[in-house]
Amino acid sequence: MKVVEVWCREYNIKLNPAKSGILEVVPKYKKSCLKVGKEFRGIPIVDKYKYLGVWIDQRLSPHSHSEYLFGSRDTQGDANKKMKGKISFLTSSLSPCFRNVSFDYGANLWITFVKPLFLPLAALGTALTPSEKNLIQTKLRVSLKKFLKLPKSFKTEILDQVYPIDFLEWLQIENHNCRVKWDARALRQGDYNGMLKKYRVPRRKYLPREFRSLLSKFTAWCKVCC
């Protein structure tokens, strides 16, 4: 903190405590040295911090960002109250766009607005446990079903025939991209775009008529309610 303060004074930059936080990244099976809720040199000590749109906690786990996406139980107030996440906010905000739209249109909305939100979780691939990876894989499918107007009970095997999502493959690609960027910056190489890979959700452009009729039964709007 002293080094940061000296640097700010030298470059005439004002450090704003209200927009700053000290996040102690605790090693596994270790206890934190700083007490959350207190201040150190005027900067609050926090248990999680939002940096460039990504929620990072003391364990570098995906739980904080996952709660940001899908919501969590409000432990400070009512225990039964569930705080809405970013996915629910996007679903309710874009709900007027879902009316009488095609299956592909809903998928394109998901790829545009939701898929990028999972990128930080993919970048944390090396720090994720197998159970956490499986949980994220399930969350990906849940968010896709929402945008496709499919119920939660819709079989995953059927969904994978159209939009097979492989989070493990996505992890490998992002791990490769991070390594390429790191090596290029270490060698002071600016041009590395040709070495980067991009994960794309494969999908079938042409669906059988029977399959489309099955999807229409699950995604049709209720005439009474609408």
pLDDT in tens, 50-71: 887 788 888 877 788 888 888 8
Indicate the pLDDT class of residue 208, thresholds 50, 70 and 90.
Answer: low
CA 100 to CA 95: how far, in whole Å? 11
Looking at per-residue pLDDT, the higher value among 3 and 32 belongs to 3
Instruction: Express each pLDDT in 100-136 by its tens digit.
Output: 677 777 788 888 888 888 888 777 777 778 888 888 8
Place of tokens 């029977």: 210
Element (H, E) at 167: helix 167-186
Q: For the chain, what percent of residues have pLDDT higher than 90?
A: 10
- For residue 156, pLDDT beyond 50: yes
First to last CA, the chain: 58
Q: Which residues contact 79 (CB under 8 A, 6 or more apart)?
A: 73
Share of the chain above pLDDT 70, in %: 83
The average pLDDT across 81-108 equals 76
Contact 164, 141 (CB under 8 A): no
Using 50, 70 and 90 to split pLDDT, how confident is the model at 177? confident
Q: Which tokens in the block code for residue 133?
A: 């990876």
**Closest among 150, 69, 65 to 107, alpha carbons compared:** 150
Read off the pTM: 0.66
Q: pLDDT value at position 11?
A: 92
The pLDDT-based confidence of 23 (bands split at 50, 70, 90) is: very high
**Which pLDDT does position 226 carry in this prediction?**
46
Domain ranges of the chain: 1-46, 61-218
Q: Is the pLDDT of residue 220 over 60?
A: no
Choose between 205 and 188: higher pLDDT: 188
Q: Residue with structure tokens 């996440």?
A: 85
Amino acid at 214: L
